[in-house]
């Protein structure tokens, strides 16, 4: 068992090592490695797909529009963002140019496989009681390529590396809803999934 100080050092060491990662070509495209962050003994680890434009510039996960929506959803579900650890399956921003903008591009299987050891190391150190996969990339990377968020969202499943795993949508999917009504509906469903996490951990 690591001491709290030892765990801190381990996370810091991991972060430092990941900053120089060249295990796939995405380091050439992103500004920097965006490692996870949060409490050392976080009960909940939230795992997204990859950093976006703002995360890439800030070097921190979930600080852009999707991160702000995630903050609101966590608050609505009664979970303090300060009590969770947030990270992504892939630690560099993959993007394609569109005019002057950098548009999100989906990471491929090779990039996901190359980056997965960082997430496994984060899981080993933080040892969360519950892992929440935000979107299909995280769910399939952690639960297998046959996992379908559309069919199995909001349900607890077991995994060797966490007692409880639950998949839901990525907050960017809520933002992409076609109109206000759909966005409110998707937000409420997202909050309901997160509320199941809070309830399970309080039990
Ligand atoms: S995306 Fe992951 S595996 Fe690829 S270079 Fe960045 S940190 Fe390394």
Residues pairing with 103 in the sheet: 96
Alpha helices in 20-135 (DSSP H): 53-58, 65-76, 109-126
Give me the mean pLDDT over the 71-99 stretch. Answer: 95
Report residues whose beta carbon is within 6 angstroms of any ligand 1 atom.
18, 21-24, 26-27, 33, 90-92, 111, 114-115, 118
Instruction: Give yes or no for residue 2 having a pLDDT over 50.
Output: no
DSSP 3-state percent helix, strand, coil across the chain (nearest 5): 50, 20, 35
pLDDT in tens, 26-63: 999 999 999 999 988 899 999 999 999 999 999 999 99
On the question of pLDDT at 199 being above 90, the answer is yes
Could you identify the residue written with the tokens 């991160």? 67
Using the mean position of ligand 1's atoms as its centre, give its distance from the Cα of residue 109 in Å.
Answer: 12
Q: Which of 14, 24, 88, 119 to mutate to test the pocket of ligand 1 (most atoms within 8 A of CB)?
A: 24
The pLDDT of residue 81 is 84
131 and 86 in contact (C-beta within 8 Å)?
no
Atom of ligand 1 nearest to the CA of 94: 1
What atom in ligand 1 is closest to the CA of residue 50? 1
Q: Which atom of ligand 1 is nearest to the CA of 114?
A: 3
Listed residue (67, 46, 40) closest to 197, CA to CA: 46
| Residue 1, pLDDT above cutoff 50 | no
Angstrom CA distances, 200 to 87, 147, 165, 194, stand at 21, 22, 11, 10
Residues whose CB is less than 8 angstroms from the CB of residue 185 and which lie 6 or more positions away in sequence, other chains included: 177
């Amino acid at each position: 068992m690591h001491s709290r100080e030892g765990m801190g050092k381990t996370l810091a060491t991991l972060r430092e090592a990941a900053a120089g990662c060249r295990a796939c070509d995405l380091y050439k495209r992103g500004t920097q490695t965006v490692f996870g962050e949060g409490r050392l003994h976080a009960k909940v680890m939230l795992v997204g797909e990859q950093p976006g434009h703002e995360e890439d510039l800030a070097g921190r996960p979930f600080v852009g529009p999707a991160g702000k929506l995630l903050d609101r959803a966590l608050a609505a579900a009664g979970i303090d963002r300060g009590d969770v650890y947030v990270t992504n399956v892939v630690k560099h921003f993959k993007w394609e140019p569109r005019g002057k903008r950098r548009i999100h591009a989906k990471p491929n299987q090779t990039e996901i496989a190359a980056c997965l050891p960082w997430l496994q190391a984060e899981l080993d150190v933080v040892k969360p009681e519950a892992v929440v996969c935000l979107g299909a990339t995280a769910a399939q990377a952690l639960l297998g390529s046959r996992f379908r968020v559309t069919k199995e969202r909001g349900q607890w499943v077991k995994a060797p590396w966490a007692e409880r795993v639950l998949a839901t949508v990525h907050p960017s999917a809520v933002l992409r809803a076609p109109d206000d009504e759909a966005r409110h509906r998707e937000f409420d469903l997202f909050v309901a999934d997160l509320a199941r996490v809070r309830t399970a951990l309080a039990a």
